């Protein structure tokens, strides 16, 4: 069952939040000279055409990257993220292309770093191959995300990041993410794990967070970004990210970034950003 196509949602508020967090993490892990490993378990198709028929259906990017892409004064991490988006759209009056997580990682990784992409959808997998096959740092696998956690972890590099960004179309996806995190962590307990999830109903989200706590894994940072209150008629009111083994002081960086992003991206005034520890050290 692979009906989900990220092209319909590319560049929306949730992509902006996820990719700003990704830039913060990639910048943090590439500060030291030793090589890093990055695994993107649900890679998507790498980059998205915002003028495509699919992206034009809901025009979700207009309330995401469209609201901020021209802003020049922003916290350093957001500035770097916007530079990457603007490089993809050089000379254009409106953003026509949106870089996905693999393209953002490609921009920030150094010569000695490695990126492994797993993606099951045949079309998206082929798009990844077309885009990245000449980059020797990148390996692309048409493989299940959760199988990939078993197959590729632990990496020989001592440091790195696993991004887990499923479509959440299956009812059991939250359970699969928790099990996937346990699998990955049992193989590579020093790795950083960044998990994106949608916020639709308080109950579902609370059960997911409780299941993460019940794994016994320590050092889990929790970010929550709402654009509308739970009482609104919107189904998709926000998104969250969990970061296991977060780099030092990233909580402060993310709080500054998410507070800054909420002003242009929110669709109601009475909403808040949270960055706190789900499980401390």
Ligand X SMILES: C[S@@+](CC[C@H](N)C(=O)[O-])C[C@H]1O[C@@H](n2cnc3c(N)ncnc32)[C@H](O)[C@@H]1O
| 165 catalytic residue (yes or no) | yes
Question: E strands within the chain?
Answer: 36-40, 47-49, 97-99, 114-118, 138-141, 159-164, 192-199, 220-226, 238-244, 273-279
Contact between 165 and ligand X per CB under 6 A: yes
Please pick, from the candidates 16, 20, 28, 124, the single residue that binds ligand X as defined by CB under 6 A.
Answer: 124
Contact between 160 and ligand X per CB under 6 A: no
Contact between 229 and ligand X per CB under 6 A: no
Q: Which residues contact 83 (CB under 8 A, 6 or more apart)?
A: none
- Report helix, strand or coil for 92: coil
Task: Check if the beta carbon of residue 224 is closer than 8 Å to that of residue 276.
Answer: no
User: Between the CA of residue 245 and those of 163, 221, 223, 258, what are the distances in Å?
Assistant: 13, 8, 14, 19
Q: Pick the closer one to ligand X by CB: 142 or 219.
A: 142
Task: Check if the beta carbon of residue 237 is closer than 8 Å to that of residue 186.
Answer: no
Residue showing the smallest CB distance to ligand X in the complex? 100
Letters for 127-156 (x = contact with ligand X by CB under 6 A, - = none) are: -----------------xx-----------
Q: Pick the closer one to ligand X by CB: 144 or 232.
A: 144
Contact between 60 and ligand X per CB under 6 A: no
Q: Fill in the DSSP letter of residue 64.
A: T
Q: Pick the closer one to ligand X by CB: 135 or 210.
A: 135
Contact between 118 and ligand X per CB under 6 A: yes
Active-site residue (options: 15, 113, 124, 165): 165
Catalytic residues: 165
């Amino acid at each position: 069952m692979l009906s989900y196509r990220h092209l319909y949602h590319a560049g929306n508020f949730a992509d902006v939040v996820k990719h700003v967090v990704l830039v913060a993490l990639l910048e943090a892990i590439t500060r030291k000279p030793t090589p890093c490993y990055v695994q993107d378990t649900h890679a998507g198709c790498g980059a998205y055409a915002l003028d495509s028929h699919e992206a034009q259906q809901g025009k979700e990017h207009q309330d995401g990257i469209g609201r901020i892409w021209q802003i020049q004064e922003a916290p350093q991490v957001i500035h770097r993220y916007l530079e990457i988006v603007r490089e993809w759209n050089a000379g254009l009056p409106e953003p026509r292309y949106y870089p996905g997580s693999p393209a953002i990682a490609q921009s920030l990784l150094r010569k000695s770093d490695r990126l492994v992409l797993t993606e099951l959808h045949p079309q998206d997998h082929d798009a990844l191959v077309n885009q990245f096959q000449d980059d020797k740092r990148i390996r692309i696998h048409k493989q299940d995300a959760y199988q990939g956690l078993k197959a590729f972890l632990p990496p020989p590099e001592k440091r790195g990041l696993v991004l887990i960004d499923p479509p959440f179309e299956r009812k059991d996806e939250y359970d699969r993410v928790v099990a996937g995190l346990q699998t990955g962590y049992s193989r590579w307990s020093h790795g950083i794990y960044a998990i994106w999830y949608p916020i639709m109903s308080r109950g579902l989200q609370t059960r997911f967070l409780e299941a993460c706590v019940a794994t016994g894994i320590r050092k889990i940072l929790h970010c929550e970004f709402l654009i509308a209150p739970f009482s609104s008629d919107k189904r998709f009111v926000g998104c969250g990210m969990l970061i296991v083994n977060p780099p030092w002081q990233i909580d402060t960086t993310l709080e500054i970034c998410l507070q800054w992003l909420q002003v242009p991206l929110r669709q109601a005034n009475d909403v808040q950003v949270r960055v706190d520890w789900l499980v401390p050290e």
